[in-house]
C-alpha cells in the first residue's frame, strides 16, 4: 500500500493532478521608471496636476522585478529614455510571438518615440524579424497571446487594421474585442490570460458582442467585478500558476486562490497614477518555437 501511495504521489506530481496548476518559465523585458512622471493626460487615470513620484515608482517596480526573479522568470532590461515618462510600460513596446516582432505604433504623439527604441532593443538582442507596422497599435497592451489565438483590443488605441496586419505577419488567428469604458483603454486593463487556454476578465469593459465572443471562447473564464477592475486588478501576469497582481484586487485574489492559482500581490499604486499595473510594465519575449 505504501509503494502504491508513493507511486500515485509521483504520478500526481508529474501530471499535476486536479487543481494543480503548472508554471511555465517566461522571459520578460522591463524598463526601470527612472524618468517616470505624469506630465500629460492620455487616459482617465492621469492627472498632471497631481503628478507622481519617480523614486517611489522605482521602488515599487523593483519589487515587481524581484517577484518575477523569485518565481524563476528571466528579466531583461531596456534603458529608460529621458522625456519618455511612460516608457516603463514595456507591454506597449511591441508584440513578440514565436520569435517574430510586430512593432508598436503609438496612438498619441507623446509616446511615439518609444516604438523605435523598443524595436532597436529587440533587433540588438537577437530578434531579426521585426515588422514595422502600417497601423496604430500599442503592442501587448492590446494584444494578448494564448496557445491558439491572440485576443486584440480596439476602441481606444489599437486599430482593427492592425489586428489584421498582426494576424497576417504572425500566422496566428487574431480575435477583435471592442473596449467601451475609457478607464479600460487597453485590453490588458480588462483581461489577462491565466494560461494558454483560459482567461480572467471584467465583462463591463467590453461591447455586448465582444462579451458574447468571450463567453463562447472561454466558458470557464474567471469573471472579475468592477471593484477588481477599478484597481487595475485585471492588469495581471500569470505564468499558469502564479499570478502577479495588484494587491488591492482583494476579491479577484480570493477567486484566483479558489481556482488553484497562487496570487503574488504587488503594490504598484504609484504607476497606477499613469494608468498602469504589473502587466503594463512587462513585455513577454516569446522565442521561436522549434518544430515538433
Residues that bind ligand ARG (CB under 6 A): 42-43, 46, 86, 89, 91-92, 111, 141, 186, 188-189, 274-276, 280
Minimum distance of ligand ARG from residue 43's CB (angstroms): 4
Nearer to ligand ARG, 172 or 232 (CB): 232
Nearer to ligand ARG, 191 or 214 (CB): 191
Minimum distance of ligand ARG from residue 40's CB (angstroms): 9
280 is catalytic: yes
- Of the candidates 59, 115, 127, the residue with the CA atom closest to the CA atom of residue 86: 115
| Cα–Cα dist 207/179, whole Å | 6
Residue-by-residue DSSP string for 173-231: -EEEEEB--GGG-SGGGTEEESSSS-EEE-GGGB-HHHHHHHHHH-TTPEEP-HHHHHT
Q: Point out the catalytic residue in the list 148, 186, 259, 281.
A: 186
Q: Name the CA radius of gyration of the chain, rounded.
A: 19
Nearer to ligand ARG, 114 or 165 (CB): 114
Minimum distance of ligand ARG from residue 274's CB (angstroms): 4
Q: What is the largest CA-CA distance in the chain?
A: 69
31 is catalytic: no
| Cα–Cα dist 272/164, whole Å | 30
Minimum distance of ligand ARG from residue 202's CB (angstroms): 14
Element housing 144 (H / E): strand 143-145
Minimum distance of ligand ARG from residue 188's CB (angstroms): 5
Nearer to ligand ARG, 140 or 165 (CB): 140
Minimum distance of ligand ARG from residue 195's CB (angstroms): 20
| Cα–Cα dist 167/175, whole Å | 9
Nearer to ligand ARG, 43 or 210 (CB): 43
- Of the candidates 186, 176, 257, 187, the residue with the CA atom closest to the CA atom of residue 222: 257
What is the Cα 87 distance to its own chain's centre? 15
Q: Point out the catalytic residue in the list 31, 73, 163, 280.
A: 280
- Of the candidates 134, 164, 161, 136, the residue with the CA atom closest to the CA atom of residue 150: 164
Nearer to ligand ARG, 92 or 145 (CB): 92
| Cα–Cα dist 50/72, whole Å | 36
Asked if 65 and 133 touch (Cβ cutoff 8 Å), the reply is no
| Cα–Cα dist 169/254, whole Å | 39
| Beta bridge partner(s), residue 245 | 265
Active site residues: 186, 280
Amino acid at each position: 500500500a505504501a509503494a502504491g501511495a508513493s507511486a500515485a504521489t509521483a504520478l500526481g506530481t508529474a501530471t499535476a493532478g486536479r487543481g494543480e496548476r503548472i508554471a511555465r518559465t517566461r522571459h520578460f523585458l522591463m524598463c526601470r521608471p527612472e524618468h517616470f512622471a505624469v506630465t500629460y493626460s492620455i487616459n482617465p487615470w492621469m492627472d498632471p496636476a497631481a503628478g507622481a513620484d519617480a523614486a517611489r515608482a522605482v521602488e515599487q517596480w523593483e519589487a515587481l522585478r524581484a517577484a518575477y526573479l523569485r518565481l524563476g522568470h528571466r528579466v531583461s532590461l531596456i534603458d529608460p529614455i529621458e522625456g519618455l515618462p511612460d516608457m516603463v510600460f514595456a507591454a506597449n513596446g511591441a508584440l513578440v510571438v514565436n520569435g517574430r516582432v510586430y512593432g508598436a505604433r503609438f496612438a498619441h504623439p507623446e509616446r511615439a518615440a518609444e516604438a523605435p527604441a523598443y524595436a532597436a532593443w529587440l533587433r540588438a538582442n537577437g530578434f531579426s524579424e521585426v515588422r514595422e507596422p502600417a497601423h496604430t497599435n500599442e503592442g501587448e497592451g492590446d494584444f494578448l497571446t494564448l496557445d491558439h489565438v491572440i485576443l486584440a483590443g480596439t476602441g481606444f488605441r489599437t486599430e482593427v487594421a492592425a489586428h489584421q496586419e498582426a494576424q497576417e505577419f504572425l500566422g496566428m488567428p487574431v480575435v477583435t474585442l471592442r473596449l467601451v469604458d475609457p478607464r479600460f483603454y487597453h485590453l490588458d486593463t480588462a483581461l489577462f490570460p491565466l494560461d494558454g487556454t483560459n482567461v480572467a476578465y471584467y465583462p463591463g469593459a467590453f461591447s455586448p458582442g465582444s462579451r458574447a465572443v468571450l463567453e463562447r471562447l472561454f466558458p470557464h473564464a474567471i469573471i472579475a467585478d468592477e471593484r477588481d477592475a477599478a484597481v487595475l486588478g485585471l492588469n495581471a501576469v500569470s505564468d499558469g500558476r502564479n499570478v502577479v497582481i495588484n494587491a488591492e484586487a482583494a476579491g479577484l485574489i480570493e477567486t484566483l486562490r479558489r481556482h488553484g492559482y497562487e496570487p503574488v500581490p504587488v503594490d504598484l499604486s504609484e504607476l497606477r497614477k499613469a494608468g498602469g499595473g504589473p502587466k503594463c510594465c512587462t513585455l513577454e519575449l516569446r522565442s521561436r518555437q522549434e518544430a515538433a
